[in-house]
Structure 1
Amino acid sequence: MHAITTTELFLIAMLIIFSVPYLIWRFFKTDYYAPLVVVQIIAGILLGPGVLGAAYPAYYEFVFTPAVIQSLNAIAWWAVMLFVMIAGIELDLKKAWEHRRESSITAGLALGTPLIFGCVAALGMLIFPGWIAQGAEEWQFVLGVGMACAVTALPILILFMEKMEILRQPIGQRILRYASLDDIAIWGVLAIILLDWTRVGRQAGFLLVFIIATLVFRKLMVRLQERDRWYVSLIWLAACGLAADWAGLHYMVGAFLAGAVMDSEWFDQEKMDLLRHHVLLVIMPVFFLSTGLRTNWGVGGVMVFGAAAVLLVASVTGKLAGVHMAGKILKWEKGEASIIGWLLQTKALIMIIFANILLDKKVITNETFTALLLMAVASTMLTVPIVSPKLKKLRALITRSS
């Protein structure tokens, strides 16, 4: 009898990754409420150890062996690094500096208000047993859950804005500025939560070396032909991701910083669009599915769903309240804050990664992780159905630059 090889198991996993979510998305026509990326995340969760793996452990142990999962993770890491780097390149930092008052006010309130709301919800959760991991400090739990409520999923946000044809419009670039500034802050807060002073020292060293390396890198890139810039940018991406992860800032922060210090004018825009589409088509599905496969969650009864609902309310209302306050300060037009707030409350992947780290570091329990996971999926599924009708009514807002 033929003994199945790791290669064959890997290809079986790839077959599942690309076929199951696509067939569900296409057959049930879920695009409006659950775009393909959301279906891929949910499918990963359902196919993972927490659901189908628990119901049919033999299936899970047969297909998703440690060697297969390790291979999928490697592809997933590179996929998301490429995607986040492209997001960084597409961010116009010159515009961010030109609109620094507007960007800092909006990003600050969009992060700070849901953080406060989430911390209040976390304090309520502490009243009941089973939410905080044994040995964790209460302030770590409260700040961790609060920040999970404040997270914006930058990669998913880009997909949604592209779907709604506003990514390249002024309002899309504004939203990218807000989300990007908040994403940088998220990993800094995570370092505080984990309270690793060795890591903080490494972070300071990384930032110092990164600034010096960036100056050299930018001088090099302007002297290269475009075909060389594409290849050198990949070397730069790998180096920044490695250095950031070594420093404890997470490889995705390094990937974003790698792209953020590059100018979009260095590359042909049509080729950049093609690269993003090809990354989404070819390798990002592995990231979406492997994220779900790496989750480890146990439903602890009705309380988990109740907690998820409370966290969802805290997350959405906090984000909307913060952005509306920014809109009043900056005198935005009617309806503008609502559109921006609903887009920025998108959670999905970044929050799942964030919650996974809290779970691995024993800050939260499996029940808390489950509640955060349900909240992330729900917030993401709300975005397109709510924002699309608003955009149709307020098309003039799309071209507003500030």
Structure 2
Amino acid sequence: MSTTEVFLLAMLLIFSLPWLVWRLGRTDHLAPLVVVQILAGILLGPGVLGRWFPDAYGFVFTPQVVQSLNGIAWWAVMLFVMIAGIELDLKATWAHRRESGITAGLALGVPLVLGCLAAMLMLAFPGWKGGGAHHWQFVVGIGMACAVTALPILILLMEKLDILRQPMGQRILRYASLDDILIWGVLALILMDWTRVGKQLGFLLGFAVVTFAFRRLMARLPETDRWYLALVWLALCSLGADWAGLHFMVGAFLAGAVMDAHWFNQERMDSLRHHVLLVIMPVFFLSTGLRTNWSMGGGEVIAAAALLLVASVGGKLLGVHAAGRMLGWAPGESRVIGWLLQTKALIMIIFANILLDKRIITDASFTALLLMAVVSTMLTLPMVTRRLFGQPERPSEPSAARHS
């Protein structure tokens, strides 16, 4: 078979296998299609398919095919991260700054601390820290991976639960948006290369100057031109960030964060996010699965994933519970909000990909983080559905939020 034919065979597997499992297995109540696609990427990777059927794996995932898939995956994830940046609602966060600051701070801080403690325990054993990392980079990177909330997937889950446009859904978006800014800021600090600090500072300065001109131009253009210029801006920012050593996904997030959501029709933005997930993000899931590695042994990797899951989920629930007590939330609110905010999925996987690219973590650490993200996301819907359906009505805006 030619390279083109093998590439199309890989695409056939990428799109057909997860859909069949999701549709025939009726997994939507436990694992939405996006989670099944991530799991399919792991199954088709070297740790499962490559181990049990090495000839089939080597036939389909040749270096040329993998290189082509990676190119599609890079663009897919850049689009996805840009959309996540655009959807940040900083004005609403500022309007409710006391409530948002307390909740987001505790929801991020507690799992970050517990994740750092888990990372320090992992450092006691060889094979987890990447060759290009200092101890502090590994510890903070793992800790922040435990604290991440997947904002785009959170939006999809809340749409499914029919609470996205409700007061609780809007509150959760504010908390997740503020955490997103902190997460990407810490990531930029972790990635700072002091041998190239001049280039990185130059990029940030140039980005600030060009952003001013870009925003003025976008405000004057009709929406049809804004969509196209947004893609040009995405490529430019990602190129600049990667050139400076910060990673192209940091640039993609910055590109979206400086754009105003009201520049774009909300229905079209929702449609774009859904179509990116449908059309090209499955390729990213597959390319992510191809990076999983079980060389340390499945038992060790699963044990590390379980440790990180406890730090992540437990820390998020504890942090949100503490915020709820401080702000006087109604009974049950903190559990619902905590379970939704602990959703990991795509953003954590993107975060882990960056850490792996920069050799801050190893393939084994990446696999443990990936498993943690999948299980975390699979827990969300059943836990939240049970708690929402057990309440006589959806929780309303807390009194503390109205006066913040």
TM-score by shorter chain over 0.5? yes
Residue of structure 2 equivalent to 1:397: 395
Contact 2:191-2:246 at 8 Å conserved across structures: no
Q: 2:260 aligns with which of 243, 260, 263?
A: 263
1:380 Cα deviation after fit: 1.3
**1:230-269 CA-partner distances (Å, limit 9, x unpaired):** 2112212222222233333333333233223222322223
Contact 1:245-1:251 at 8 Å conserved across structures: yes
Residue of structure 2 equivalent to 1:251: 248
Quote the Cα distance in structure 2 between the aligned partners of 1:134 and 1:88: 31
Residue of structure 1 equivalent to 2:309: 312
1:299 Cα deviation after fit: 4.9
Residue of structure 2 equivalent to 1:142: 139
Contact 1:166-1:398 at 8 Å conserved across structures: no
Contact 1:76-1:283 at 8 Å conserved across structures: yes
Q: 1:34 aligns with which of 2, 19, 31?
A: 31
1:316 Cα deviation after fit: 0.8
Q: 2:339 aligns with which of 320, 326, 342?
A: 342
Quote the Cα distance in structure 1 between the aligned partners of 2:216 and 2:134: 46
Contact 2:141-2:355 at 8 Å conserved across structures: yes
1:160 partner letter: L
1:341 Cα deviation after fit: 1.4
SS of equivalent residue, structure 1 residue 397: coil
Residues 205/134 of structure 1: CA separation in 2 closer, same or farther (3 Å cut) = closer
**1:131-173 CA-partner distances (Å, limit 9, x unpaired):** 4456854333332322221122233223222222333334333
Quote the Cα distance in structure 2 between the aligned partners of 1:199 and 1:172: 42
Residues 365/94 of structure 1: CA separation in 2 closer, same or farther (3 Å cut) = closer
Quote the Cα distance in structure 1 between the aligned partners of 2:302 and 2:164: 34
Deviates most, 67-76 or 238-247: 238-247
Q: 2:101 aligns with which of 97, 100, 104?
A: 104
1:386 Cα deviation after fit: 0.6
1:358-369 residue pairs with structure 2 within 5 A?
A: 358-369=355-366
1:50-61 residue pairs with structure 2 within 5 A?
A: 50-61=47-58
Residue of structure 2 equivalent to 1:234: 231
Contact 1:25-1:31 at 8 Å conserved across structures: yes
Quote the Cα distance in structure 2 between the aligned partners of 1:297 and 1:202: 37
Q: CA RMSD in A?
A: 2.5
Residue of structure 2 equivalent to 1:352: 349
1:60 partner letter: Y
Contact 1:103-1:177 at 8 Å conserved across structures: yes
1:8 Cα deviation after fit: 1.2
Deviates most, 255-264 or 357-366: 357-366
**1:345-383 CA-partner distances (Å, limit 9, x unpaired):** 122233333334444544444443333222222111111
Contact 2:292-2:364 at 8 Å conserved across structures: no
TM-score when normalising by structure 2 = 0.89
**1:52-81 CA-partner distances (Å, limit 9, x unpaired):** 012222212211122212222222222222
Residues 198/177 of structure 1: CA separation in 2 closer, same or farther (3 Å cut) = farther
1:128 Cα deviation after fit: 4.0
Quote the Cα distance in structure 2 between the aligned partners of 1:136 and 1:79: 27
Q: Show structure 2 runs of 5+ residues with no match.
A: none
Q: 2:161 aligns with which of 148, 159, 164?
A: 164
Residues 92/115 of structure 1: CA separation in 2 closer, same or farther (3 Å cut) = closer
Quote the Cα distance in structure 2 between the aligned partners of 1:194 and 1:334: 41
Quote the Cα distance in structure 1 between the aligned partners of 2:382 and 2:133: 38
Quote the Cα distance in structure 2 between the aligned partners of 1:16 and 1:201: 45
1:130 Cα deviation after fit: 4.3
Q: 1:10 aligns with which of 7, 10, 16?
A: 7
SS of equivalent residue, structure 2 residue 163: coil
Contact 2:132-2:358 at 8 Å conserved across structures: no
1:114 Cα deviation after fit: 0.6
SS of equivalent residue, structure 2 residue 30: coil
Identity over aligned pairs, percent: 72
Determine whether 1:282 maps to 2:279: yes
Q: 2:112 aligns with which of 107, 112, 115?
A: 115
1:400 Cα deviation after fit: 6.3
Q: How many residues align?
A: 399
Quote the Cα distance in structure 2 between the aligned partners of 1:122 and 1:64: 33
Determine whether 1:293 maps to 2:290: yes
